[in-house]
Amino acid sequence: MLRPPPQLTVSQWAERHRILGSRASSEPGPWRTSRTPYLREVMDALSAVHPARRVVFMKGAQVGATESGNCWLGYILHHVPAPVLAVQPTVELAKRFSRQRIDPLLEETPALKERVAPARARDSGNTLLSKEFPGGILVLTGANSAVGLRSMTARFLFLDEVDAYPGDVEGEGDPIALAEARARTFGWRRKAFLVSTPTIAGRSRIEREYAASDQRRYFVPCPHCGEMQWLRFEHLRWEKGDPRSVRYHCETCDEGIEEHHKTAMLAGGQWRATAAAQDPHTVGFHISALYSPVGWLSWEQIARDWEAAQGKPEDLKTFRNTVLGETWQEQGEAPDWERLVERREDFAMGIVPAGALCLTAGVDVQDDRLECDVWGWAEGYTSWLVDHVVIPGSPRERKPWDALATLLARDWPRQGGGTMRIAKACVDTGGRDTAAVYGQLRRLRDPRIAPTKGVDGWNRAQPVQGPTPVDALVDGRKLRRGLKLWTVSVSTWKADLYRRLWLGRGDAEEFPPGWVHLPRGIEAEWVKQLVAEQLRTVKDRRGFARQEWAKLRERNEALDCAVLARAALWLLGADRYGERFWQQLRDQIADAPLRPSELPVPGNVASQSPPPAPQVPETHRPRGWLAPRSGWLR
């Protein structure tokens, strides 16, 4: 009883006590660090006897990083009891993590099962987001909950998938800073584990934290010459179209290395620092899926994924993030406006092209006018500029808003016959007349109009968030929570637009998915406004690089309207439902080729065939399109 507990490291504890079950592992049974030797030093840096206070792990998929964090949690519960805070990107993901990872960890590891009471026991302290044990407590929360991040003091922090954290939590600041503030009272005894697959260069939190560390790489020996090297994708070679011929070529002797050599290479590997850490108490590790053990993700599959991603920027981005564990560099350079002017096409403005399946609009509010751009959309986010409308008048007055209501009630002729109507419109409420805009939109009360507020943040759980009730002033009377406001991440949609504007055709006859079609009738000034900003890398007060959009020209209304029209498409559910969304629209157009205007608006359960465009009364909203009709996506 008087003998102190053995000073185990995390890897030693895992090999002695950890049991993997079939619920959480593809290889159930006792934990074997020899299966993933590169995790040994990562886990040992988390041990109580190690001097590191912050451990950063930037990694690809299929390398066992989350399970190493779970081993650390088990080590704390059994060997170093203390308050622990585990943070997932959202509260919902924290609940899923508790059910899928923490509960199996507690139930299938005998050393832990006896330390945490069953969940059904009375006053057990074992709930979905809280696990009490002798000497400490494990609390799980989401990075989107400011209350959860400041609800307790914690000695240990497990921050998982930090690149998916929101940029600002309910106006209280960065979630990592909020979480780490919980551990300050523990001084040198505190420890934080930051894990994530990286995302976008200049915005990635895990890249920023790794850059401030000693930047360790896992060096493995060549089976032919014995030279130590860390694995790079550039040295993975195969015959084009034949991924089965893949070999890794040594950077020294250039001999081909087979997949079966990987086990011995991993066993003989070692971590080596490649930089001097800005903080001596921070250690950083980086590893890609090239190190994935035999039987997990093979080099052949990596080669297949690379070939399948060619010509698809989104798939290439996913490959770089999840396979290579590296950040993706966005195409933030503004496209050449002269090139866009030259590639304008011969279709008439004001007529919906035959390929468009739905219409959205973006409305930018200026001091003396409303600028509205109507965009048509098809699968792959291919888009057509259908019309550009300028409505003169101050946003404080009723006249321009009534003209906007009339515009939304208009039937747009469709090439090949029939008409269509705008399904959703996003209106920017920012600027000097925000209160007046709120009041006018509340007066119109058109459910197709989404009042929006643009923010520059990249790290947001959703590119469009809300709605949030705000007060509106109508005819001098204040209506509390009278309007629902959506928050739009304009940085995300600007990068999406630029990526599509940079698409090339080469010698192909067909336009690639995502192509932006511009009509011959649009003026060059409008095209200049569409590419009026550029993504630039700047350094913040702490010296960390970040990316922000800077104006190249004074006027950028076309860019703002395009961003709002894309956000409107997101609100309709195109990103959420994917191919199902577009197939539903194609089926509806095929069933009613003569009257596309009678099609139900996606995302609305109740609607009816719209009558001819009415004259909008000053005090009433257009209601003709909203009567009951068959449901959508039930």
Helix (H) or strand (E) holding 87: strand 84-88
- Reply yes or no on whether the pLDDT at 599 is more than 80: no
Environment class of 435 (CB within 10 Å of its CB; exposed 0-12, middle 13-18, buried 19+): middle
- Reply yes or no on whether the pLDDT at 342 is more than 70: yes
Q: Residue type for 491, please? A: S
The answer to whether the CB of 381 falls within 8 A of the CB of 500 is yes
pLDDT at 427: 92
Instruction: Classify the phi-psi angles of 506: left when phi > 0, otherwise alpha if psi is within -120 to 50, otherwise beta.
Output: left
- The 10s digit of each residue's pLDDT in 315-332 is 888 899 999 999 877 666
Instruction: Classify the phi-psi angles of 68: left when phi > 0, otherwise alpha if psi is within -120 to 50, otherwise beta.
Output: alpha
pLDDT at 335: 81
pLDDT band at 260 (very low <50, low <70, confident <90, very high): very high
Q: For 568-592, what is the mean pLDDT?
A: 86
- Reply yes or no on whether the pLDDT at 607 is more than 60: no
Q: How many domains does the chain have?
A: 3
pLDDT at 466: 81
How high is the mean pLDDT of the chain?
A: 84
The percentage of residues in the chain with a pLDDT greater than 90, rounded to a whole number, is: 43
Q: Identify the residue with better confidence: 479 or 61.
A: 61
SS3 sequence, 190-244?
Answer: CEEEEEECCCECCCCHHHHHHHCCCCEEEEEECCCCCCEECCCHHHEEEECCEEE
- Reply yes or no on whether the pLDDT at 556 is more than 60: yes
Q: For 447-468, what is the mean pLDDT?
A: 79
Q: Which domain holds residue 76?
A: 10-215+275-293
The answer to whether the CB of 392 falls within 8 A of the CB of 400 is yes
pLDDT at 496: 87
Angstrom distance (rounded) from CA 94 to CA 145: 11
Angstrom distance (rounded) from CA 500 to CA 513: 9
Q: Residue type for 26, please? A: S
Question: Is the same domain home to 237 and 376?
Answer: no
Instruction: Classify the phi-psi angles of 381: left when phi > 0, otherwise alpha if psi is within -120 to 50, otherwise beta.
Output: left
pLDDT band at 236 (very low <50, low <70, confident <90, very high): very high
Angstrom distance (rounded) from CA 549 to CA 537: 9
Q: For 85-108, what is the mean pLDDT?
A: 91
Question: Is the same domain home to 281 and 304?
Answer: no
> Under DSSP, is residue 400 helix (H, G, I), strand (E, B) or coil?
helix
Question: Is the same domain home to 234 and 367?
Answer: no
**DSSP symbol at 615:** P
pLDDT band at 38 (very low <50, low <70, confident <90, very high): very high
- Reply yes or no on whether the pLDDT at 78 is more than 50: yes
On whether residue 317 sits in a domain, the answer given is yes
Question: Is the same domain home to 253 and 235?
Answer: yes
Q: Residue type for 396, please? A: R
Question: Is the same domain home to 133 and 167?
Answer: yes
Question: Is the same domain home to 351 and 452?
Answer: yes
- The 10s digit of each residue's pLDDT in 503-552 is 877 666 788 888 999 999 899 999 999 989 887 776 665 555 667 788 88
Q: For 135-143, what is the mean pLDDT?
A: 91
Q: Identify the residue with better confidence: 218 or 553.
A: 218
- Reply yes or no on whether the pLDDT at 602 is more than 60: no
- Reply yes or no on whether the pLDDT at 598 is more than 90: no
Residue 503 neighbours by CB distance under 10 Å: 17
Question: Is the same domain home to 203 and 264?
Answer: no
Question: Is the same domain home to 481 and 566?
Answer: yes
Chain centre distance of CA 50: 34
Residue 524 belongs to a domain with what CATH number? 3.30.420.240
Sequence-ordered list of residues with C-beta below 8 angstroms from that of 528, at least 6 positions apart, any chain: 337, 553, 555
pLDDT at 430: 78
On whether residue 565 sits in a domain, the answer given is yes
pLDDT band at 620 (very low <50, low <70, confident <90, very high): very low
On whether residue 606 sits in a domain, the answer given is no
On whether residue 624 sits in a domain, the answer given is no
How far the first Cα of the chain sits from its last, in Å, is 63
- Reply yes or no on whether the pLDDT at 192 is more than 90: yes
Angstrom distance (rounded) from CA 250 to CA 7: 40
Question: Is the same domain home to 318 and 392?
Answer: no
Q: For 82-108, what is the mean pLDDT?
A: 91
Angstrom distance (rounded) from CA 330 to CA 220: 31
Q: For 428-432, what is the mean pLDDT?
A: 81
**DSSP symbol at 102:** I
- The 10s digit of each residue's pLDDT in 7-24 is 789 999 999 999 888 776
Question: Is the same domain home to 347 and 245?
Answer: no
Question: Is the same domain home to 374 and 508?
Answer: yes
Question: Is the same domain home to 207 and 308?
Answer: no
Q: Which of 300-304, 570-574, 620-624 has the lowest mean pLDDT?
A: 620-624
